[in-house]
A = this chain, B = another copy of it.
């Protein structure tokens, strides 16, 4: 099985980290193809960044359909372009926020999310509401760490994420922590040991969900709003998508 894990931002060191986490999570026999979006922002910290990451990641999926991948992971905690991506393929496409939130709900009755900058909190809140887990998700918290600080070994980003997670345990009564950024994929294990509760990294979780769906021979339903897009004319930078 070949799973394409897409980093929707353009920072390749983050792609490497995400790919590594994905490979670590993957079953034997699963090949992980970690891709960097060919266009867009170097980090995703706003609705604007998110919007501009989508065309690149959809392009990766279009190419992936030619490659014949068995499934896709969108490795940004805002799950950008998730439903659009699903329209492009009959294979499973999983976002890391949905993967992490759903996995958390299987092992704890209450979890909190620790994300990066406070301005991204609302994005996670919208997703929790959309995914129907707002009664399970105690609180979305920001560690006040910029996404690219997570790439900088000299930063104290780990300490800030851990401290915020500790506050979640004490103040929110959380029984599990969801990591709110693809760039935190390498922190789960260490954090779980430090905190003594399950810590869920969405990249790993999404890989397992794609594997599960593929093995169950379940793919994106092509009946209803996730059917393939109707062929039509595109203009400008997207003219090549016309057919």
Using a CB–CB cutoff of 8 Å, the interface residues on chain A facing chain B are 10, 25, 27, 37-43, 45-52, 54-56, 58, 81, 83-84, 86-88, 92, 94, 98, 102-103, 105-110, 118-123, 126, 129-136, 146, 169, 173-176, 189, 196-198, 200, 204-205, 208-209, 211-213, 215-221, 223-227, 229-230, 232-239, 241
Given known contacts A205-B212, A209-B212, what 19 new A-B pairs fall within 8 Å (CB)? Answer: A39-B238, A39-B239, A40-B238, A42-B233, A47-B81, A47-B84, A47-B86, A49-B232, A52-B54, A92-B106, A106-B209, A107-B218, A107-B220, A108-B224, A110-B224, A119-B227, A122-B225, A174-B224, A208-B215
Contacts of A129 in B (CB 8 A): 129-130, 135
Nearest to A108 among chain B residues (CB) is B221
Neighbour of A108 across the interface among B120, B135, B226, CB < 8 A: B226
Chain B nearest CB from A221 CB (Å) reads 4
Q: Could you list some 9 contacts between A and B, CB below 8 A?
A: A41-B232, A46-B229, A48-B87, A48-B88, A52-B58, A109-B224, A122-B225, A126-B130, A208-B212
Assembled-state Cα–Cα distance A45/B94 (Å): 22
* Chain B positions within 8 Å of A50 at CB level: 84
In the complex, which of the residues B51, B87, B213, B233 contacts A46, with contact meaning CB atoms closer than 8 Å? B87
- A106 vs chain B, min Cβ distance (A): 6
Q: Is there contact, CB below 8 Å, between B223 and A109?
A: no
Contact between B236 and A175, CB atoms less than 8 A apart: no
Least CB distance from A5 to B in Å reads 15
Q: A84-B48, A234-B52 are in contact. Are A219 and B107 (CB under 8 A)?
A: yes
> Is B135 a contact of A213 with CB atoms below 8 Å?
no
Complex Cα distance A218/B175, Å?
12
Q: Which chain B residues lie closer than 8 Å to A102 at the CB level? A: 102, 105-106
CB-CB under 8 A from A132, the residues of chain B are 131-136
Instruction: Note all chain B residues with C-beta closer than 8 A to A205.
Output: 212, 216
Tell me which of B224, B233, B234 contacts A122 (CB under 8 A). B224
Name which of A43, A58, A109, A130 has the most chain B CB atoms within 10 A of its CB: A109
A52 touches B49 (CB 8 A): no
A216 touches which of B25, B133, B234 (Cβ 8 Å)? B25
> Which of the listed residues A37, A102, A136 has the most CB atoms from chain B within 10 Å of its own CB?
A102
